[in-house]
A = this chain, B = another copy of it.
Amino acid sequence: MRIGFVGLGNMGSGMASNLLRAGHEVTAYNRSQDKVDALAAAGARPARTVAEACDAEVVVSMLAHDGAVEAVTFGDDGILASLPAGAVHVSASTISVALSERLTAAHGDAGQGFVAAPVFGRPEAAAAAKLFVVAAGSPEVVAAMSPVFEAIGRRTFTVGDEPKTANLVKLSGNFLIASVIESVGEAMALVGKAGVDKQQYLELLTSTLFDAPVYHTYGGLLARQEFEPAGFAAEGGLKDVRLVLAAGESLQVPLPIASLLRDRFLTLLALGGGHLDWSAIGALAERDSGGDAPTA
C-alpha cells in the first residue's frame, strides 16, 4: 500500500521501518528532519511537510500527545486538509477519548476514513514488529487496514465500531500497567526493608501467579532501579493517567487507583523526574519508607 507516516519518535521509527520491510511504499514525515533521513536510508520517501505524507491511501500518525495530533491533523496543510477523499487516517497515538471523537467527526465530514489503532508495547516491541494493536472503527475500514496492522504488530484486537473505544481500551491498559508498577513498588519497598532480595522476590512472583510480561518488564526495572533511559517517560505516564481520569469523569466512573497514580506522577515530576521511565513512580513507596528518591 501507499502509506504516509507522521511521527518518527521512539515508537514510530520502528513501526515505519516495519511497514517498509513488509513491502509497503512509505512516505515519512517528522518534525525534526534527521529521523526522516534515517528512514530514507532504509528506503522511505522523505516528506518535508505533513501534506506531502498525505499523498497516500493511508496515513498513519504516531505522536506523543493530543496537542501534537491536533497540530498535524487540523493545522494548515494538515492531514484533514491534505488527505484525498476515501483515504484513511490511522491514529496509533495514545490520545484522549474526546479527541478521538472529534477526529472521527472531522474525517467523516471530509469523506475520509478514520481508524483508531493505538498499540501496546515498548520501543523494542515496535522495532521487532511485536506490538499488540487495538483497533476500532467502521468494520470494513478496519478490515482494509489489516496489512498495516500485520506489518507492525503480532496481533490485532478489534474492539468496536467507534474509534474512541480503542482509545479508551488503550488508556485502560496503560492504567493497568501503572497499577502494576505502583503495587509492585509498594510490595518491594515492604519486603526490601525486611531484607528480602528484590531480584529474587521478582523471580518468585514471575514464576507463579504473576508470570506475565508486565511483571517481568516493570518488576525488573524496579528491582534494578533502572529508570534511564526512559522507554516511556513519566511525563507521558502522567498524560495517560490524566486521560484515563478524564474518560472516567465523562463516563462518571471513579477510579481510585488512577487518582493515586496521578498523585505519584505529580510527585515524581515535582522531584525533577519527569524524564525518567514511568516505572520510577514505583520507587516512591521506598522514598516514603525512608529510602532514596528515584531522582536522588
Contacts and interface: CB of A to CB of B under 8 A. Distances in A.
A193 B254 contact: no
B263 A290 contact: no
Interface in A241-296: 242, 244, 247-249, 251-260, 262-264, 266-267, 269-272, 285, 288-290
Contact of A259 (B165, B208, B260): B260
Nearest to A187: B172
A179 B183 contact: yes
A74 interface: no
Contacts of A212: 209-212, 214-215
Contact of A290 (B176, B195, B249, B271): B271
A214 B204 contact: no
A289 B39 CA distance: 41
Interface residues on A, range: 35 or more
Nearest to A168: B194
A53 interface: no
A199 B179 CA distance: 20
Nearest to A131: B208
Nearest to A250: B194
A169 interface: yes
A92 interface: no
A41 to B, nearest CB: 32
A101 to B, nearest CB: 12
A190 B256 contact: no
Interface in A189-248: 189-191, 193-196, 200-201, 204-205, 207-215, 217, 238, 242, 244, 247-248
Given A165-B196, A210-B176, A204 B270 contact: no
Contacts of A132: 204, 207-209
Given A182-B257, A248-B266, A213 B211 contact: yes
Interface of A: 120, 132, 134, 155, 157, 159-160, 165, 168-169, 172-173, 175-177, 179-180, 182-184, 186-187, 189-191, 193-196, 200-201, 204-205, 207-215, 217, 238, 242, 244, 247-249, 251-260, 262-264, 266-267, 269-272, 285, 288-290
19 contacts: A132-B207, A159-B196, A165-B196, A169-B191, A173-B187, A175-B186, A179-B183, A180-B180, A182-B257, A186-B253, A190-B244, A194-B247, A209-B217, A210-B212, A210-B213, A257-B257, A266-B289, A267-B288, A272-B290
Q: Which 3 A-B pairs have the closest CB atoms?
A: A212-B212, A179-B183, A259-B259
